[in-house]
Amino acid sequence: MPSRPIVHGLFEHAPDGPRLRAAHCAACGKVHFPASATCPYCGADAPTPTLVGPAGRLRLFTVVANRPPGYRGPVPYGFGVVELDGVDLQVITRLTEADLQRLRPGLPVTLVIEPLFTDDEGAAVMSYSFAPAAAS
Amino acid sequence: MRPVFIGGVGLHPFGRFADRGLTALGVEAVRAALRDAGVERGGFQAAFCGTVYGGVATGHKVLTALGLSGVPIVNVEAGCASGGAALSLAAAQVASGQHDTVLVLGVEKMPRGMIRSSFFEPWREEAGLAATPAYFALRAQRLMLESDVTAHDLAAVSVKNHRHGVNNPYAMYRKAISVDEVLGSAVVCEPLRLLMLCAPNEGAAAVVVSARPHAATPVRLAAAVLRSHLAGSVLGEHTPLDGLASEHVDTPSERAAQAAYEVAGIGPGDLDLAEVQDTDAAREILSVEELGLCPRHGGGRWARDGGGTMDSTLPVNASGGLLSKGEPLGASALGQIVELTWQLRGQAGPRQVANARVALAHTVGRGANACVAILTR
Cβ-defined contact of A66 to B114 (cutoff 8 Å): yes
Q: Which helix (H) or strand (E) holds A124?
A: strand A124-132
What one-letter code names the amino acid at B354? Answer: A
Average pLDDT over residues B36-50: 96
Enter the DSSP assignment of B230. P
Measured over the CA atoms of residue B119, residue B125, residue B129 and residue B131, the dihedral's sign is positive
Q: What is the pLDDT of residue B243?
A: 72
- Cβ distance B177 to B156 under 8 Å? no
Determine the Cα–Cα distance for residues A83 and A80; give it in Å rounded to an integer: 10
Q: What does the pLDDT profile of chain A (136 residues) look like in tens digits? A: 899 999 999 999 989 899 999 999 999 999 999 999 999 899 999 899 999 999 999 999 999 999 998 999 999 999 999 999 999 999 999 999 999 999 999 999 999 999 999 999 999 999 999 999 986 4
Is the CB of B142 less than 8 angstroms away from the CB of A60? yes
Q: What is the pLDDT at residue B31?
A: 98
| Residues B289, B147: Cα–Cα separation, whole Å | 11
CB B368 within 8 A of CB B85: no
Nearest alpha-carbon partner for A128 in A86, A77, A87, A67: A77
Q: Which residue of B has its CA nearest to A71?
A: B126
Name the residue facing A70 among B130, B142, B189 (closest C-beta).
B130
Question: For residue A110, what is the enclosing H or E element?
Answer: strand A108-118
The pLDDT assigned to B249 comes to 85
Nearest to B231 among A40, A93, A127 (CB): A40
Query: Which chain B residues contact residue A116 at CB under 8 A?
Result: 126-128
Q: Which of B123, B144, B192 to mutate to test the interface with A (most CBs of A within 10 A)?
A: B123
CB atoms within 10 A of CB B243: 23
Q: How far apart are the first and last CA of chain A?
A: 33
The burial of A120, by beta-carbon neighbours within 10 Å (0-12 exposed, 13-18 middle, 19 or more buried), is given as exposed
Probe site for chain B from A10, A62, A94 (most B CB atoms < 10 A): A62
Q: Residue B245 — very low, low, confident or very high, per pLDDT cuts 50/70/90?
A: confident
pTM over 0.80: yes
Q: How many separate helices (H) and strands (E) can be counted in chain A? A: 0, 10
Q: Which residues of B are catalytic?
A: 80
Asked if residue A56 lies in contact with residue A85, where contact means CB atoms within 8 angstroms, the answer is: yes
User: Is 80 exceeded by the pLDDT of residue B236?
Assistant: no
User: Are A68 and B138 in contact (CB < 8 Å)?
Assistant: no
> How far does B361 lie from chain A, in Å, by closest CA?
30
Does residue B237 register a pLDDT over 60?
no
What ipTM was estimated for this complex? 0.96
Across the interface, do A71 and B127 touch by the CB < 8 Å criterion? yes
Mean pLDDT computed over B302-306:
97
Query: Are residues A93 and B129, on separate chains, in Cβ contact within 8 Å?
Result: yes
Please give the distance of CA B315 from its chain centroid, rounded to a whole number: 16
Average pLDDT rounded to a whole number, residues B240-260 = 84
Contact B134 A68 (CB under 8 A): yes
Chain A residues within 8 angstroms (CB to CB) of chain B: 6-7, 32-34, 36, 40-42, 60-66, 68-73, 77, 79-81, 90-94, 100, 105, 116-117, 125, 127
Q: How many CB atoms sit inside 10 A of residue B236's CB?
A: 19
- What local confidence, expressed as pLDDT, does residue A103 receive? 97
Q: Which residues of A touch B231 (CB under 8 A)?
A: 40-42
Residue B34 has pLDDT above 60, yes or no: yes
CA atoms within 13 A on the CB side of B172: 21
Residues 6+ apart with CB under 8 A from B314: B271, B272, B273, B274, B293, B307, B308
pLDDT at B238 over 70: no
Q: Is A64 exposed, middle or buried (0-12, 13-18, 19+ CB in 10 A)?
A: buried
Chain B nearest-CA distance from A131, in A, is: 16
Task: Provide DSSP, B143-171.
Answer: HHHHS---HHHHHHHHHHHHHHHTT-TT-
Alpha-carbon gap, residue B29 to B45, rounded angstroms: 18
A120: distance to nearest CA of chain B, Å?
13
| Nearest residue on chain B to A39, alpha-carbon basis | B231
Measured between alpha carbons, how far is A32 from A89 in angstroms, rounded to an integer? 7
CA B300-B305-B307 angle, 5° bins:
80
User: Given a cut of 90, is residue B230 above it in pLDDT?
Assistant: no
Strands (E), chain B: 5-15, 46-50, 73-76, 101-109, 187-189, 192-193, 202-210, 220-228, 273-275, 358-365, 369-376
- Please report residues of A whose CB lies closer than 8 A to that of B190: 62-63, 100
Question: In whole angstroms, what is the distance from residue A131 CA to residue A78 CA?
Answer: 10
CA distance B187 to B200: 18
Q: Check the CA dihedral B311-B317-B318-B320 and report its sign.
A: negative
Interface test with B, best of A92, A96, A114, A128 (most B CBs within 10 A): A92
Q: Across the interface, do A81 and B114 touch by the CB < 8 Å criterion?
A: no
Decide if A20 contacts A91 (C-beta within 8 A): yes
Q: Determine the length of chain A.
A: 136
Contacts of B184 (CB under 8 A, 6+ apart): none
CB B8 within 8 A of CB B37: yes
B176-219: per-residue pLDDT in tens?
999 999 999 999 999 999 999 999 999 999 999 999 998 888 99
Strand partners for A118: A124
Looking at residues B283-299, what average pLDDT do you find? 97
